Amino acid sequence: MSLFERLKSDATASWNAYVNHAFVRRLGDGTLPMAAFRHYLVQDYLFLIHFARANGLAVYKAATLEEMRFAHRSLKAILDIEMDLHVRLCGEWGLTPAELEKTPEHSATMAYTRYVLETGLRGDLLDLHVALAPCVLGYAEIADSLVELHGGIDTDNPYAHWISEYSGDAYREVAASAADALDRLAETRMTGARYPHLLTVFDQATRLEVDFWQMGLDAAREG
């Protein structure tokens, strides 16, 4: 069993709360209030800035050139590919990247991103990759299961862009190589004694993903 599969099955309650969150279900059937999605996407842009930093930290924490190249590719994928979606969609709402960057961070954004960075600063590359795993692997799984559930991408769904970005080949490749990287790191760094802490990190990061979806839904309720 891959390390990702093992962590997921030991954190089932949190994982299910994340991948089956009401935000996800309503994104999938197109009933998510646009205010919730907008709030989420702007915060997600801020999230990605710090996620890029976390991958920069992974470059620094790398012990081999292969690990360094992997972290560098992930960093580039965030800056050059994933953030483009946010810039494009936010641009349609009249928001420029400069305005996005100036938006105040919500505490859910701050909590999640700083938790990942702190975990990586305190621990080694395996701790850091376990903290990053719910993000990359979770979004790929979520988008894939939405496509499967709805038998493809409904172009009338206002969130079709989001679903197609995260279910597309480029993102699927990023996710597959993240799962691989986790297994390669585990080969040299995993011990039985480390596992309980790694599971705590994975579970905590997953619960912070749940809070991130909830932040989006709550914004629509307040607005």
Q: Does 44 help bind ligand HMH (rule: CB under 6 A)?
A: yes
CA distance 43 to 46: 5
Listed ranges 62-70, 89-97, 134-142, 146-154: which one lies at the site for ligand HMH (CB under 6 A): 134-142
CA distance 185 to 193: 16
Residues near 17 by Cβ (< 8 Å), separated by ≥ 6?
206, 207, 210
φ/ψ (deg, to 5) at 94: 85, 15
* Catalytic pick among 67, 82, 90, 135: 135
H or E segment to which residue 16 belongs: helix 12-19
CA distance 141 to 5: 12
| From 58, 89, 135, 143, residue interacting with ligand HMH (rule: CB under 6 A) | 135
Q: Does 202 help bind ligand HMH (rule: CB under 6 A)?
A: no
135 has catalytic annotation: yes
Listed ranges 10-18, 41-49, 120-128, 189-197: which one lies at the site for ligand HMH (CB under 6 A): 41-49
| From 4, 18, 37, 139, residue interacting with ligand HMH (rule: CB under 6 A) | 139
The residue ranges that bind ligand HMH (CB under 6 A) are 44, 47-48, 82, 135-136, 139, 209, 212
